[in-house]
Structure 1
Amino acid sequence: MYRLVYMSTPKRCLRSEELSSILAAATRNNHRNEITGILIQDRKRFLQYLEGSENKVEETFARIASDSRHHAIFRLKSGLIDRRQFPGWSMASKTIEQCASLKNAVSELVKCCDHDVVAELLNFAEARDRAA
């Protein structure tokens, strides 16, 4: 199993219906490609965790990276993992307010994950909270 975690910034503030459309497309594509994961966004940044076969995850990331709605796309972590962390979610999503804590949002979604994955995602979220 392979995973990839990235953060990106939308080029402009996306409306709720645009975000819903992005999520619906991601859910369809991920289901077809047997990718699971989470997407957390606060209209200023996206934090996404993708898992599945390396080829499919990397293809998905390449599509995301070439999407004109994003810029400042940073791969935070990628590599092999022992098991799926989000087996039931083609794409779990959580929208938070810009002033809300990303760490709190992430902690709600990672309760069943392996300890090291929880620590990584919470560390990324905490760093974003400090920078925001």
Structure 2
Amino acid sequence: MPLCAIAYRSDAADGISVDRLNALVRDASHHNRLAGVTGVLLFDGKQFLQYIEGPDDGIDFVYSRLNNAKSHKHVVELARGHGGVRRFPYWSMHWILVEQHQLHALAVADWTMIEKHRSESEVVVPAVAELTALVRPHLQDAG
């Protein structure tokens, strides 16, 4: 079964706290684990950028939940593709606080090659490479 990946950006609901975000991520992690979905959520205090990966049916389930969530608004899908390798195989979901300029840079990065990303060696997706580089220091900090 091919791997599907989606990246999106959204605006956080007004007044979302770190405690509320932690609770949302715990809930998402549970549902993602059941759906076989892994990923990472970046948050700059005002906006989210999330990358999720997994089987088509799992991604459809999780993305439907995301689109209906009241924790954010103005969801903009940046990319959707099939193939490739899991970037975050050990995280059913994890969130990282980033600077506004880091999230913005990823939101406007080149996601266009994600559909052709079949393996790590064939095609480099600039946005996925940037995301992976940004997240790499946090990989050892989370479980």
Under TM normalisation by the shorter chain, which class is it? 0.7 to 0.9
CA distance in 2, matches of 1:80, 1:48: 17
Give the equivalent residue in structure 2 for 1:110: none
| Letter matched to residue 124 of structure 2 | D
Q: Is 1:42 aligned to residue 49 of structure 2?
A: no
**Among 84, 108, 127, which residue is 1:120 paired with?**
127
1:27-106 matches, cutoff 5 A: 27-98=29-100, 101-102=102-103
CA distance in 1, matches of 2:22, 2:79: 26
CA distance in 1, matches of 2:80, 2:88: 16
Which deviates more from structure 2 when the two are superposed, residues 85-94 or residues 14-23? 85-94
Give the ranges of 4+ consecutive aligned residues of structure 1 lying more than 3 Å apart after TM superposition: 100-104
CA distance in 1, matches of 2:92, 2:8: 17
Report the alpha carbon displacement of residue 97 of structure 1 after superposing the two structures with TM: 4.7
Give the equivalent residue in structure 2 for 1:8: 10
Task: Please tell me the root mean square deviation across aligned C-alpha atoms, in Å.
Answer: 2.3
Report the alpha carbon displacement of residue 47 of structure 1 after superposing the two structures with TM: 0.6
The 3 A distance-change label for structure 1 pair 92 and 69 is closer
Aligned-pair identity (%): 27
CA distance in 2, matches of 1:2, 1:17: 30
Count of residue pairs the alignment pairs up: 113
Cα contact 2:29–2:93 (8 A) shared by 1: yes
In structure 1, list runs of 5 or more residues that go unmatched. 105-112, 124-132
| Letter matched to residue 41 of structure 1 | F
When normalised by structure 2's length, the TM-score is 0.69
In structure 2, list runs of 5 or more residues that go unmatched. 107-118, 132-143
When normalised by structure 1's length, the TM-score is 0.75
Report the alpha carbon displacement of residue 4 of structure 1 after superposing the two structures with TM: 0.6
